[in-house]
Chain A
Amino acid sequence: SYVLTQPPSVSVAPGQTARITCGGNNIGSKSVHWYQQKPGQAPVLVVYDDSDRPSGIPERFSGSNSGNTATLTISRVEAGDEADYYCQVWDSSSDHPYVVFGGGTKLTVL
């Protein structure tokens, strides 16, 4: 089955740029989606189809995807961005399509 690998944690100072990676075999050939989850809340979609933003999501959130790594970039990080972030793909490589999530990355704002 397809595996997505994320770093367990990323730390960044306010105002700096945070980059959260999501590794997978030839992930560049798939569409990657990213979710933000704050404590006690449901996940919220922040980037879909590698680099598109849903309405209401700040332009500070952006995404890229190439080769074996997808990246969520958060510019000008704010305290309110502290959360867990998950990447997700739809793996249709077999006759049984599967939704795959990465293990999640905890973003800490120093």
Chain B
Amino acid sequence: QVQLVESGGGLVKPGGSLRLSCAASGFTFSDYYMSWIRQAPGKGLEWVSYISSSGSTIYYADSVKGRFTISRDNAKNSLYLQMNSLRAEDTAVYYCARQAAANWFDPWGQGTLVTVSS
């Protein structure tokens, strides 16, 4: 079945870096756009970044532009999010999600928690 599994979350100090990974299985990964979406504790959903199937098109939310970098390795069926200059407000559960071209997200991974705190 289609499955997305995130990893790489944890506790990091403000200004630090973290790299999240998302392992995909059960579908042809290279055919799909992918996104990262986050949810701060007790808050709603916030889209973070999107990457096209080939990796040639990338967009970021203004809140992370210049600090986060999305990438993918289609040979490894994996999606990544490099997060630099982390701030307390980046504390959230980070989900990867398969994206129908410029449309809906289905399915979502189980999420990985990133906590930015001194």
A38 to B90, CA, bound (A): 22
How many Å from the CB of A38 to the closest CB on chain B? 12
Which residues does B use to contact A, with CB under 8 Å?
35, 37, 44-47, 50, 59, 61, 95, 100, 102-111
How many Å from the CB of A103 to the closest CB on chain B? 5
**Binding stretch for chain B, among A9-17, A39-47, A71-79:** A39-47
Which residues does A use to contact B, with CB under 8 Å?
31, 33, 35, 37, 42-45, 48-49, 54, 86, 88, 90, 92, 96-104
For the complex, would chain B's binding face be called helix, strand, loop or mixed by DSSP majority? strand
A100 to B61, CA, bound (A): 10
A92 touches B102 (CB 8 A): yes
A37, A45, A104: the one contacting B104 at CB < 8 Å is A45
14 contacts between A and B (CB under 8 A): A33-B104, A33-B105, A35-B45, A37-B45, A42-B107, A45-B104, A48-B100, A48-B104, A88-B105, A98-B59, A99-B35, A101-B46, A102-B44, A103-B44
User: Which of A31, A86, A101, A104 has the largest count of B CB atoms less than 10 A from its CB?
Assistant: A101
A42, A54, A101: the one contacting B109 at CB < 8 Å is A42
B95 touches A43 (CB 8 A): yes
How many Å from the CB of B87 to the closest CB on chain A? 20
A49 to B100, CA, bound (A): 11
> Do A44 and B61 form a contact, CB below 8 Å, given A101-B44, A104-B45?
no
B44 touches A86 (CB 8 A): yes
A49 to B103, CA, bound (A): 8
A92 to B46, CA, bound (A): 17
Closest to B50 in A: A99
A98 touches B61 (CB 8 A): yes
A88 to B35, CA, bound (A): 14
> Do A90 and B59 form a contact, CB below 8 Å, given A42-B95, A101-B44, A104-B45?
no
B103 touches A31 (CB 8 A): yes
B111 touches A90 (CB 8 A): no
How many Å from the CB of B19 to the closest CB on chain A? 21
> Do A43 and B59 form a contact, CB below 8 Å, given A33-B103, A54-B106?
no
Enumerate chain B residues within 8 angstroms of A31, measured Cβ to Cβ: 103
